[in-house]
Structure 1
Amino acid sequence: MTELFAPVDVGAATTLLCDADGTLFPSEEPAYAASAGVTNRFLAGLGAERSFAPEELQRMTNGKNFRGAAHELAAGFGATLADGDLEHWVAEEKEVVTAHLSTVLRPDPGVRTALDRLAGRFRLAAVTSSASTRLDACLDVTGLAPVFPADRRFSAEDSLPVPTSKPDPAVYALAARQLGIRPEQGIAVEDSVNGALSAVAAGHPTIGTLVFVPLPERAARAQALREAGAAAVVTSWAELTDLLL
């Protein structure tokens, strides 16, 4: 059921800026399952005395890429990291997670049907914290690659001069510049709080989505997305389509 917290000026919008993981496909849980081994070895090097379960890591860092999560987790151990210290870990985590997602993700007809309808009204772009190679692989295996041409894919890890991660709004600012739109012309769709914070900080009307959020977590996530500045929260791509068309 759609929850509307503030008016969404659909008439001003020309572009739909879609987060990828957890929004276009259910990649959050399998990604953290694959990433946990790399993350725990990284943390062991910082002095962690125990391993963290994938579910713990997801609660702690959802919406951030490995680079952003690593900085946050390192700070918890009193360590400050230079990006140069991370490159090996970033590359390894990207390879491991991309390979896993390529084997477990499948096309979702409901997502594709909604996107095809929305594409008749909006230009569609993908705006993600994840690496470009991971985004490309996920779009390929879910059958969404034709919906998001290469020049409408934006990665906080690879598209910016200096890699960053949501909630930094830099990747949304870049997408708006390259697409030639004002903030109010791009409606963002985000499943995570960090993603919503990123989009809102960049000035985009933002809609939260719970489509791939586990049912027991939906009420809390909806409230958190509202507090992050989402104007509305939907539970399916069909609801999003009805809201925007």
Structure 2
Amino acid sequence: MDSEPWHKRAIVDVCRGYGHELSEELCASLVGVSFRDLCTQLNAARPMPVTVDQCIDEINALYLTRVANVQPRPGAFALVESFAARGLHQACVSNSGREVVDAHMVAMGLPHFRFSISRNDVANGKPHPEPYLTAAAKLGLPPEACAVIEDSPTGARSAAAAGMLTIAWPQDPGIAFDAVDHLVEDPAALDWDALCRVRA
């Protein structure tokens, strides 16, 4: 889902209410960062009159009022369908909380994801490898048999640390990624049949 612009708006609006004006540069660096890490960082720089948990709840609540506006990224749903046609197992692994992930799953309305992993389901969020290792275990697959498509450097670091084929599909071409296996403008352009043979 093309959710980053809407997450950004919710974050900026809530933080502005507590006297934190977030620059474009700071917002760009926060792509894929969990709300807990963001709120903790802001609270350390300038204490807010609410707890970190309250800050997270406010951001999520505001985002959820706007989630109906979030659209799929162009080509994303077709890619999911093509993976399903190949018989590939698919899961959603997110750094967002359970409520937001569930809202996205409903909005997508796709039957091909076997499950989702949210930030609430693991002790350590991205960039730690735990979210992706948890997904691999639930799929019954070794990490090296898994491929990940990520739109954030934080998520890409998590996937790479888990030992998975890591494909970066940034929403903003200006976002810098660490070393990934593939950096693409369109993941559908990859030779997925060849990649599947290699991973198998």
Same fold by TM-score greater than 0.5: yes
Counterpart mapping for 1:1-245 below 5 A: 25-42=1-18, 44=19, 51-53=21-23, 55-75=24-44, 77=45, 85-102=51-68, 104-107=69-72, 110-121=75-86, 122-144=88-110, 146-149=111-114, 152-156=115-119, 158-160=120-122, 162=123, 164-210=124-170, 212-213=171-172, 218=173, 220-221=174-175, 224-225=176-177, 228-239=178-189, 242-245=190-193
CA apart distance, 1:124? 0.6
Runs of 4 or more above 4 Å deviation: none
The code of the aligned residue for 1:154 comes to I
TM-score, normalised with respect to structure 2: 0.83
The code of the aligned residue for 1:33 comes to R
Deviation track 1:106-159 (CA, whole Å, cap 9, x = no partner) reads 356732222111123310111110112212212322333x2224xx20012x11
Asked whether the equivalents of residues 32 and 57 of structure 1 are also in contact (C-alpha less than 8 Å), the reply is: no
Deviation track 1:162-185 (CA, whole Å, cap 9, x = no partner) reads 3x4321222112212222221101
Distance 1:148 1:165, change over 3 A: same
Deviation track 1:47-90 (CA, whole Å, cap 9, x = no partner) reads x5xx225x344213111121121223344x287x9xx9422221
Deviation track 1:174-204 (CA, whole Å, cap 9, x = no partner) reads 2122222211011111111111111111111
Q: 1:230, 1:128 → 2: CA distance?
A: 18
Report the number of matched residues.
Answer: 191
Percent of pairs with identical residues: 28
Q: 1:73, 1:36 → 2: CA distance?
A: 12
Asked whether the equivalents of residues 105 and 142 of structure 1 are also in contact (C-alpha less than 8 Å), the reply is: no
Give the CA RMSD over aligned residues: 2.4
**Gaps (5+ residues) in structure 2?**
194-200
Q: 2:67, 2:179 → 1: CA distance?
A: 30
Q: 1:108, 1:36 → 2: CA distance?
A: 22
TM-score, normalised with respect to structure 1: 0.69
**Gaps (5+ residues) in structure 1?**
1-24
Which SS does the other structure have where 1:119 is aligned? helix
